[in-house]
């Protein structure tokens, strides 16, 4: 599917078709995370904000606890 941006005031908007929104369980109130890898725009629904926060906290604890082991594995 190829899309083009639409003007919305002084901004650009991307229209997402209803079947895609339904497939991803996205509503008008679903927060969306927008990131880029430098070449692509990645838009992901966030259905459970607290789950993502808990995941980041757990990841930080694991990285802190096993930092030396992870560094050795990376070498």
User: Hey, which residues does 12 pair with through a beta bridge?
Assistant: 7
Question: How far apart, in whole angstroms, are the C-alpha atoms of residue 74 and residue 51?
Answer: 28
Q: Would strands 11-13 and 32-36 be described as parallel, antiparallel, or unpaired? A: unpaired
Side-chain half-sphere exposure of 51, counting CA atoms within 13 A: 4
Cα separation, 22 vs 62, whole angstroms: 35
Q: Please state which CATH class domain 6-74 belongs to.
A: mainly beta
Residues of the chain with pLDDT under 50: none
DSSP 67: H
**Segments making up each domain of the chain, as ranges:** 6-74
What whole-number percentage of the chain has pLDDT above 90? 75
């Amino acid at each position: 599917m190829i899309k083009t941006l639409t003007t919305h005031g002084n901004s650009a908007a991307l229209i997402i078709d209803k079947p895609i929104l339904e497939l991803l369980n996205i509503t008008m109130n679903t927060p969306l995370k927008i990131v880029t890898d430098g070449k692509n725009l990645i838009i992901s629904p966030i259905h459970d904000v607290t789950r993502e926060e808990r995941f980041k906290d757990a990841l930080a604890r694991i990285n802190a606890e096993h930092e030396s082991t992870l560094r050795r594995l990376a070498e």
